């Protein structure tokens, strides 16, 4: 698909409405790439003029900072802020709650001030503005789904409603897990856990959470974070003999129903 | 005889308050061992938090039934203490219910309210005691509480039950009084003669007030200190989004000077220690958090690592911080200043394995009814581990070098970052 970079916009003497911060998972992870493409497709269809940084994008430094490596975080933040400020970026949308949290809450102290929005909030706005229209043969209608709250979207930034509203606008039947919203259970990936083996215990965190999702007997599990998506998919795969539930990002669900 | 009692009572009162405030002074000094951390912004929002979180107990209502019982104990405690003023004046002056002639029927109304509250406190404490010891709730049976913390919790409940019983007994034995709850106890005293009844009243009166002084002086040693510190802790509760970590300006500047050497001051001071190894490296707010913790365990019950059997328990992080701070405080009392005892919060109290299990999900922070952040301490200790000791699991070291070399936590070529657009 054709996606313009900021450099290309600059060369044309234009500025996009919004910068799409893809994030490392969205760029490199094969599963997460599908989420990235789904979201890019939606923005195309909704007529949103957006750009990516392309090769100029780099890790926000979130996993390094949470692991305790502040030097690495500050290095990455410095470089990213140089690039973002160089392009005079005002508004950023991202499909990763970890990037979202870092760009929105942690870069301002370092000189990076942007209006940062998570893609679920962005999608909700586009739906409300009528820029996203669903097909008449909305295949999601009446399907049951349980939404897994991402910690960095939920508790960290108190975004609980936007993803749920998107699912409701598709007439899906939303089933809540035992632990949801501010009581939502982590998938086990945050705090740089994604990049190491879990400490020893009785059960893997993603298995605990997958079992909770399975308990709702929903047709689908919705996520809004590429790391949650990986963890939940792995967890449910471990129970594949008993259940067939697919984990999908909110963007993928919307992309399949968009006109 | 009357004023011998008055003098004895006055002396006991002075000593009780003196010892209590002296201990509070020690705690304040210990909290100030923490690093300075300015909190002066958004006064209106902070006062609102004190009203909502501390006075209003908003977080407790995440479990409404327990919240209501806890509210009885809390309201009872605050309001019945108004009666203490009369008790203390009576004790010093040798009077009996000194406010009664001045307040008339309003006095009876007040005492009736106090009695109802005392009864509710009594009921709530009995329920709490049963609930805590029945062994059905994991956060009460957990190994974190083994030994002294468990006895501490039970001691507090028993003391409250005893104090409330004494208060009601004292009123029941008062021949001239006839109040809402204690009147039900009067039949029990119908067979005793007037002088024995008077002795019972006086004994209950003395035991009640001595019990309150004892309880007051037990507070600073117990987990129950939250009844005082919940208020300042709500005021100083962080108002930034929970996902935001504290910045480290020293490292920010070091990176800035490395990138733009022309900005580096010629007399740049050597950077301090990175992160926290011991309690003195934490902020005073972290240390006040430790003293505010009532070890309820809501944090650990919500912690994904703890739920799945990992070693980490956010409650234990707070208990360890307080234990270490108390040890440091004692060290200072003995030696006039802190003398290295070869121990530190990191390693000797909190292990690497505990710290490594945290997913930074903020569930512990969200659950805490008194605005404590165990996560803040965990992250500061992690900073010390990685930056002072280079102590990270090998996968993390790999992740660091990938970020450094490939600008992503995985080993992918940076040139492929936009490859998805071509697939």
Query: For A178-237, what is each residue's pLDDT tens digit?
Result: 999 999 999 999 999 999 999 999 999 999 999 999 999 999 999 999 999 999 999 999
Q: Of 1.20.1260, 3.30.70, 3.40.50, 3.30.420, which CATH number belongs to A135-257?
A: 3.40.50
Strands A173-174, A144-147: pairing kind: parallel
B73 close to B389: Cβ distance less than 8 angstroms: no
Please count the residues of chain B: 423
Instruction: Judge whether residue B1 has pLDDT over 80.
Output: no
* Average pLDDT, integer, range B207-223: 96
Instruction: Judge whether residue A259 has pLDDT over 90.
Output: no
Contact between A78 and B309 using a beta-carbon 8 Å cutoff: no
* Average pLDDT, integer, range B234-262: 94
Structure tokens at B420: 């998805």
- Position B102 scores a pLDDT of 94
User: What residues have CB less than 8 Å from A80, skipping those under 6 apart?
Assistant: A57, A58, A60, A61, A107, A112
Report the distance separating Cα A27 and Cα A58, nearest Å: 10
CATH class, A6-124 region:
alpha beta
* Residue B383 with chain A: CB contacts under 8 Å: 68, 70
Instruction: Judge whether residue B177 has pLDDT over 90.
Output: no
Percent of chain B with pLDDT over 90: 89
Q: What is the ipTM of this complex?
A: 0.96
Query: ∠ at Cα A92 (A88, A97), nearest 5°?
Result: 145
Instruction: Judge whether residue B16 has pLDDT over 90.
Output: yes
Query: ∠ at Cα B229 (A154, B112), nearest 5°?
Result: 105
* Cross-strand pairs, A115: A91
Place of tokens 């005002």: A90
Q: H-helix or E-strand containing B111? A: helix B105-133
User: CA nearest A56: which of A94, A82, A28, A90?
Assistant: A82
A211 close to A204: Cβ distance less than 8 angstroms: no
Report the distance separating Cα B105 and Cα B178, nearest Å: 12
- Residue B27 CA, chain-centre distance (Å), reads 12
pLDDT tens-place string over residues A100-145: 999 999 999 999 999 999 999 999 999 999 999 999 888 999 999 9
Of all residues in chain B, the one with the smallest CA distance to A58 is B407
Q: What is the DSSP letter of B372?
A: -
Contact between A193 and B243 using a beta-carbon 8 Å cutoff: no
Locate CATH 3.40.50.1860 in chain A: 6-124
- Position B2 scores a pLDDT of 67
Laid out side by side, the sheet with A246-249 consists of A173-174, A144-147, A220-223, A246-249
Give the model's confidence band at A146: pLDDT under 50 very low, under 70 low, under 90 confident, else very high: very high
Structure tokens at B369: 């009814």
Of B251, B256, B399, the CB nearest to A63: B399
Report the distance separating Cα B334 and Cα B339, nearest Å: 9
* Reduced 3-state DSSP string for chain A: CCCCEHHHHHHCCCCCCEEEECHHHHHHCHHHHHHHHHHHHHHHHCCCCEEECHHHCCCCCHHHHHHCCHHHHHHHHHHHHHHHHHCCCCEEEECCHHHHHHHHHHCHHHCCCCEEEEHHHHHHHHHHCCCCCECCCCCCCCCEEEECCCCCCCCCCCCCHHHHHHHHHCCCEECCCCCCHHHCCCCCCCCCHHHCCCCCCCCCHHHHHHHHHHHCCCCEEEECCHHHHHHHHHHHHCCCCCCCCEEEEHHHHHHHHEC
Q: What is the DSSP letter of B53?
A: I
* Residue A112 with chain B: CB contacts under 8 Å: none
Of all residues in chain B, the one with the smallest CA distance to A29 is B410
Which three-class secondary structure state does DSSP give residue B92?
A: helix
- E strand map for B339-412: none
* Torsional sign, CA A150, B385, A104, A30: negative
Contact between B403 and A72 using a beta-carbon 8 Å cutoff: yes
- Position B82 scores a pLDDT of 86
Report the distance separating Cα B163 and Cα A202, nearest Å: 43
Instruction: Judge whether residue A30 has pLDDT over 70.
Output: yes
User: What residues have CB less than 8 Å from B237, skipping those under 6 apart?
Assistant: B46, B49, B53, B371
Instruction: Judge whether residue A241 has pLDDT over 70.
Output: yes
A28 close to B415: Cβ distance less than 8 angstroms: no
Report the distance separating Cα B54 and Cα B58, nearest Å: 8
Among A157-161, B34-38, B189-193, where is mean pLDDT lowest?
B189-193
Exposure class string for B303-313: b at 16+ Cβ within 10 A, else e: bbbbbbebbbb
* Cross-strand pairs, A222: A147, A248
Among A24-33, A139-148, B70-79, B326-335, where is mean pLDDT lowest?
B70-79
Structure tokens at B106: 């309003």
* Average pLDDT, integer, range B354-383: 98
* Residue A198 with chain B: CB contacts under 8 Å: 310, 357
Report the distance separating Cα A155 and Cα B368, nearest Å: 13
Q: At what angle do helices B249-259 and A70-86 cross, to 10 degrees?
A: 60
Q: CB atoms < 10 A from the CB of B128, how many? A: 21
Percent of chain B with pLDDT over 70: 99
B4 exposure class (CB count in 10 Å sphere: 0-12, 13-18, 19+) = exposed
B241 close to B210: Cβ distance less than 8 angstroms: no
A53 close to A93: Cβ distance less than 8 angstroms: no
Contact between A58 and B415 using a beta-carbon 8 Å cutoff: no
Q: Which of residues 204-263 of B touch A (CB under 8 A)?
A: 240-245, 247-248, 251-252, 254-256, 259
Of A26, A151, A203, the CB nearest to B308: A203
Give the model's confidence band at A240: pLDDT under 50 very low, under 70 low, under 90 confident, else very high: confident
User: CA nearest A104: which of A87, A125, A121?
Assistant: A121
* Residue B418 with chain A: CB contacts under 8 Å: 3, 5, 27, 52, 54-55
Interface test with B, best of A20, A67, A154, A188 (most B CBs within 10 A): A67
């Amino acid at each position: 698909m054709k996606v313009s970079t900021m450099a290309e916009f600059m060369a044309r003497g234009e500025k996009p409405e919004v910068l799409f911060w893809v994030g490392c998972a969205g760029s490199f992870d094969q599963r997460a790439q599908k989420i990235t493409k789904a979201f890019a497709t939606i923005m195309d269809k909704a007529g949103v003029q957006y750009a990516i940084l392309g090769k100029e994008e780099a890790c926000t430094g979130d996993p390094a900072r949470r692991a305790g490596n502040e030097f690495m975080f500050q290095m990455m933040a410095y470089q990213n802020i140089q690039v973002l400020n160089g392009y005079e970026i005002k508004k950023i949308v991202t499909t990763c709650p970890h990037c979202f949290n870092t760009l929105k809450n942690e870069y301002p102290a370092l000189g990076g001030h942007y209006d940062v929005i998570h893609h679920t909030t962005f999608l909700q706005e586009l739906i409300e503005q009528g820029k996203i229209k669903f097909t008449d043969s909305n295949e999601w209608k009446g399907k049951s789904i349980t939404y897994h709250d991402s910690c960095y979207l939920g508790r960290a930034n108190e975004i609980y409603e936007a993803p749920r509203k998107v699912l409701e606008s598709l007439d899906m039947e939303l089933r809540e897990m035992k632990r949801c919203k501010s009581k939502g259970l982590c998938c086990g990936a945050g705090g740089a856990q994604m990049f190491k083996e879990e400490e020893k215990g009785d059960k893997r965190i993603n298995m605990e959470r997958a079992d909770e999702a399975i308990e709702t007997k929903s047709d689908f599990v919705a996520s809004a974070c590429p790391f949650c998506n990986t963890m939940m998919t792995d967890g449910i795969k471990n129970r594949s003999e008993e259940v067939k539930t697919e984990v999908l990002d909110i963007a993928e669900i919307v992309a399949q129903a968009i006109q | 005889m009357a004023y011998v009692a008055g003098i004895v009572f006055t002396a006991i009162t002075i000593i009780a308050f003196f010892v209590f405030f002296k201990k509070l002074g020690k705690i304040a000094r210990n909290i100030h061992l923490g690093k300075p951390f300015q909190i002066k912004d958004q006064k209106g929002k902070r006062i609102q938090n004190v009203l909502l979180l501390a006075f209003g107990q908003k977080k407790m209502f995440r479990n409404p039934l327990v919240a209501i019982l806890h509210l009885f104990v809390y309201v009872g405690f605050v309001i019945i203490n108004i009666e203490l003023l009369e008790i203390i004046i009576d004790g010093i002056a040798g009077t009996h219910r000194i406010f009664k002639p001045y307040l008339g029927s309003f006095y009876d109304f007040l005492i009736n309210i106090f009695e109802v509250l005392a009864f509710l406190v009594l009921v709530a404490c009995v329920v709490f005691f049963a609930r805590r010891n029945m062994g059905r709730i994991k956060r009460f049976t957990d190994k974190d509480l083994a030994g002294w913390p468990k006895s501490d919790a039970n001691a507090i409940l028993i003391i409250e039950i005893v104090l409330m019983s004494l208060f009601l007994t004292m009123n029941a034995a008062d021949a001239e009084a006839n109040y809402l709850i204690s009147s039900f106890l009067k039949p029990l005293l119908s067979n005793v003669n007037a002088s024995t009844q008077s002795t019972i009243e006086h004994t209950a009166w003395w035991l009640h007030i001595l019990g309150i002084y004892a309880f007051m002086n037990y507070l600073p040693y117990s987990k129950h200190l939250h009844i005082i510190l919940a208020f300042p802790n709500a005021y100083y509760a962080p108002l930034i989004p929970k996902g935001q970590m504290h910045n480290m300006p020293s490292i920010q500047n070091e990176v800035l000077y490395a990138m733009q050497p022309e900005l580096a001051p010629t007399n740049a001071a050597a950077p301090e220690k990175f992160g926290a190894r011991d309690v003195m490296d934490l902020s005073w707010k972290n240390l006040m958090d430790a003293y505010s913790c009532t070890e309820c365990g809501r944090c650990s019950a919500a912690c994904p690592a703890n739920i799945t059997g990992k070693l980490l328990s956010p409650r234990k992080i707070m208990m360890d911080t307080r234990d270490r701070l108390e040890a440091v405080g004692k060290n200072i009392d003995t030696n006039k200043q802190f003398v290295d005892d070869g121990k530190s919060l990191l390693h000797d109290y909190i292990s690497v394995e505990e710290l490594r299990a945290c997913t930074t999900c903020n569930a512990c922070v969200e659950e805490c009814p008194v605005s404590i952040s165990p996560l803040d301490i965990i992250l500061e200790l992690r900073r010390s581990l990685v930056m002072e000791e280079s102590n990270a699991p090998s996968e993390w070291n790999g992740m660091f070098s990938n970020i450094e070399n490939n600008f992503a936590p995985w080993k992918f070529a940076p040139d492929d970052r936009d490859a998805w657009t071509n697939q």
